[in-house]
Amino acid sequence: MWNHDNNESDPLMSQLLEDTTLNTCQINRQRLNITKSKWRKDRKKPLGGGISGKVYKGYADGGFFFAVKEIRIENKGEIDKIKQEVKLLCQFSHPNIVKYYGTEEDESKVNIFLELVSTGSLRKVYKSFELEESQVSHYTKQILEGLKYLHERKVVHRDIKCANILWEKGYVKITDFGLTKVTGLIALLKSRYGKIDWIAPEVMKQDKEYGFEADIWSLGCTVVEMLIRDFPYSHFKELHAKSTDPLKDFKADLELEVQKGSILHYLPKYSLHDYPLALDFIERCLKLNPNERPTADTLLEHEFVRDKFVKDSGC
């Protein structure tokens, strides 16, 4: 969690903590503003989208802006699951996770109301700007803080990647947590392998038992993504371009890469000699055996994300 004592001298962090307290106090009013009044959705300019639905900017009476994730589902049972899941997620409040405000059912779709983070995702950031290692450290620490909070509340994200990490004014927030399990994990696994670059091996195998360790694997892939500004296993795409079963080949190659310990060789700009902290952190996350991966709490003690390294970043 955030250490208030260590952040008193940081005006940006102090403001963030004040905003968090304010938002926590106002959350019931905000949910009421959306669900009990007329609200509008800007369909002309979607904010984004993915396997779980498109995201739009919304506006409610009283001048309250928010994000709307629109999910189309025919199965009534699935709609009920989503509504129940969001009801629980509305109780969560942390500086590094996007707030949920509620849902509204509309025929064969569900509108999920979320905190608006207008700048965009980390993927959008690194596509425009090259991130220094110190910046990657800064963002990784915040992602870990958010994951720790979710894991303490028994929530597995299942889809950690830069596209699901929103960025604003140097701070990041995890979004889309708690929804993948009810909006298409199987569909995600059956999609083209380019969409599963971050998913842990045990999840790809569709093992019945997998947990928080899967998010740690995905975090390692996300750190790689920030450093190389591309999908973690983008080099596989050309190899499997003519494959009759690219997903199967991807899984096989992934396991081989991890067993050989050669995934770190695909960081062309970085080497163990020049950036040992970042690469050691990644290597700890990318353990084939999930039981060998550290927890989010343990990783927060790693030198790569310790306060001194992060403060030196100037972020």
69 is in an annotated binding site: yes
Q: So what's the pLDDT on residue 250?
A: 64
* CATH number of domain containing 220: 1.10.510.10
105 and 131 together in one domain: no
Q: Are 226 and 136 in contact (CB under 8 A)?
A: yes
* CATH number of domain containing 66: 3.30.200.20
Question: 273-293, pLDDT tens digit by residue?
Answer: 677 888 899 989 988 889 999
Pairwise CA distance, residues 59 & 66, whole Å: 6
156 and 261 together in one domain: yes
Question: 127-152, pLDDT tens digit by residue?
Answer: 999 899 899 999 999 999 999 999 99
Q: So what's the pLDDT on residue 142?
A: 97
128 and 264 together in one domain: yes
Query: Cα separations (Å) of 213 from 113, 184, 210?
Result: 28, 20, 7
93 and 239 together in one domain: no
pLDDT greater at residue 187 or residue 101: 101
241: containing domain: 122-311
Q: So what's the pLDDT on residue 184?
A: 47
Pairwise CA distance, residues 307 & 305, whole Å: 7
Q: Could you give the angle at which helices 133-152 and 276-285 cross, rounded to 10 degrees?
A: 30
Catalytic residue ranges: 159
Reported confidence tier of residue 61, pLDDT bands at 50, 70, 90? confident
pTM of the entire predicted model: 0.77
170 and 195 together in one domain: yes
> Which residues contact residue 239 at a Cβ distance below 8 angstroms, ignoring those fewer than 6 apart?
249, 253
Picking from 114, 133, 156, the residue at the C-terminal end of a domain is 114
Q: Are 213 and 226 in contact (CB under 8 A)?
A: no
Pairwise CA distance, residues 41 & 47, whole Å: 11
Mean pLDDT of 3-27: 36
The lowest-confidence range among 31-35, 146-150, 301-305 is 31-35
> Which residues contact residue 115 at a Cβ distance below 8 angstroms, ignoring those fewer than 6 apart?
23, 66, 67, 98, 99, 100, 101, 173
Tell me the sheet residues that pair with 82.
none
Picking from 58, 82, 114, the residue at the C-terminal end of a domain is 114
| Greatest extent of the chain over all pairs of C-alpha atoms, in Å | 58
Q: How many domains does the chain have?
A: 2
Picking from 75, 91, 114, the residue at the C-terminal end of a domain is 114
